[in-house]
Amino acid sequence: MSVRNNRQIRYVGSSMGPGLLQDDILSWVPVSERLPVPGDVIIFYKPDCANRLIIHRIVKVNPDGSYVTRGDNTRNDDPNPVPLTSIRGVVTGGVRDDRALEVPLGSAGMRFHRYAQVRMRVLSILQKIFSRPYQFISQQTILFRIVPQRYRQRLVVVKTSEGYDLQVYLGKYLVGWKEEKDWGWTIMPPFRLFIDCRNLPESPAEALGER
């Protein structure tokens, strides 16, 4: 995660999809202004890496007052409970593509979390069923060839506090990314059908033409 100012943070990753997407700018308040409850999306320090911030949703409160968290797009709870002292703040909303982004919290957040969990499992089943034709069509770049010019893939290199991120857009829509620490590209389905992955660079240096 990349902190922009005292009350804003840039979301990175896919564990909170579909509610949060890569490069959403999130607003937050400290726990002194809002005590976290189940369903809230919180920003907290990873227990085994004090310098790394995580953005996940609270799904339960333990008897000792610590919080159980999970990404909306992940199958399991996070391995370590989160004490209140490790929470930097509660997400209250955000901005995506210059438009206001609503982030469900509390009981509404729990309902959204359950929806996201069902969605993830349904998509997993569909992916298994259609995996081979999906991969075949993607590799043949059949649909990529007929994409209108204004929606053709566009590469963007973003400088962050941790280095550089690579991003690929179709028109104005972010559909994939690769951080420096990642082994490969993350492309949101079904957009791999409309991208020529052979033209995606493997590193920021390659994208910037450095040797």
Q: What is the pLDDT of residues 52-67, one digit of tens each?
A: 899 999 999 999 999 9
pTM above 0.85, yes or no: no
* 147 neighbors 170 (Cβ within 8 angstroms): yes
**Would you state the pLDDT for residue 207?**
85
Partners of 141 in beta bridges:
none
Q: Are 167 and 24 in contact (CB under 8 A)?
A: no
Q: What is the pLDDT of residue 3?
A: 54
> What is the secondary structure of 26-68 as a DSSP string?
EEEE-TTTS---TT-EEEEEETTEEEEEEEEEEEEE-TTS-EE
The DSSP bridge partners found for residue 58 are 69
Say how far apart CA 143 and CA 151 lie, in whole Å.
12
CA-to-CA dists, residue 53 to 43, 88, 98, angstroms: 6, 9, 24
pLDDT given at position 9: 94
- The overall longest dimension of the chain from CA atoms, in Å, is 57
Q: Which segments in the chain show pLDDT lower than 70?
A: 1-5, 50, 161, 210-211
Predicted local distance difference test score (pLDDT) of residue 174:
87
